[in-house]
Amino acid sequence: MIKILLNLIKLSPQRRKLYSLLQSITGSYPNDLRIFELSLIHKSSMLKLDDGTILNNERLEFLGDAMLGAIVAEELYNKYPDVNEGFLTKTRSKIVNRAFLNETAQKLGLNSLISSQSKISLEKTNIPGDALEALIGAIFVDGGYASCRKFITSKILFPFVNLNELAHQDNNFKSMLIEWGQKHKHNVQFITDEIPGTVEHAPVFVSSVEIDNIVLGRGEGTSKKESQQNAAMEALQNVSLRNKELT
């Protein structure tokens, strides 16, 4: 506790607020606030130091992605001792995917802390999910495996995931939307544009879904498939809302 108080005293009011918010989100106080600040810097807002070093959260995102996949795999392995590898892989993919991570980041309150210059609303990008993975990487670097595992299980899996329900759930949103269109005789069309990348930034794919020539969903991703899945997910949500309004 004394160490925590000393850390708070040294911080500026703005960083002290971030310190408290991170404690609320992660469930523990950061040892090194700088690594957590780095986890919140998207590549669109990257900082370049005088020596040429580039600061953004991509390396932490890489690490967090690996830790999340490993810890979710461990949980599934222990929970389902009698199922085959295919079932475990499919179930893990439903958790370790951008749609779920984006939604979870928003629920945790991470969106308001992210530094980004995206011209598209964060909710329509994968930036929140990427930042959540980077945060997981920061927790691992700052506190080790036990802290990382505790965060993933207590703040992500247990509050937001019903493993038994998820194991039997289909998350191929594009297929679901196309099937819905065929069943109800609606024309569903996907339109995808590629925004060329640069030396420092990978290309971005932006998709929209038109249902009977009306745009009902938009999505972004690092691949055509990912952007269409995100667009289809939003379209399904909008279709569901419209149906409720009509009933």
Among the residue ranges 1-15, 31-45, 71-85, 182-196, the one predicted with the least confidence is: 1-15
**Class of domain 173-246 as given by CATH:** alpha beta
Provide the residue ranges of all domains of the chain, joining segments of one domain with +: 19-166, 173-246
200 among known catalytic residues: no
Report the percent of the chain where pLDDT is more than 90.
36
133 among known catalytic residues: yes
Confidence of residue 119 (pLDDT cuts 50, 70, 90): low
User: Cα–Cα distance between 124 and 117 in angstroms, integer?
Assistant: 13
Whether pTM > 0.75 for this model: the answer is no
Confidence of residue 198 (pLDDT cuts 50, 70, 90): low
**Class of domain 19-166 as given by CATH:** mainly alpha
Q: Which residues contact 227 (CB under 8 A, 6 or more apart)?
A: 192, 205, 206, 207, 219, 220, 221
Q: Tell me: the pLDDT tens digits for 104-116?
A: 999 999 988 888 7
Predicted local distance difference test score (pLDDT) of residue 245? 46
Question: What's the number of CA atoms in the CB half-sphere (13 Å) around residue 205?
Answer: 15
Predicted local distance difference test score (pLDDT) of residue 10? 55
Burial 72-84 (b: 16+ CB within 10 A, else e): bbebbeeeeeeee
Active-site hit among 61, 133, 220, 234: 133
Active-site hit among 37, 58, 61, 65: 65
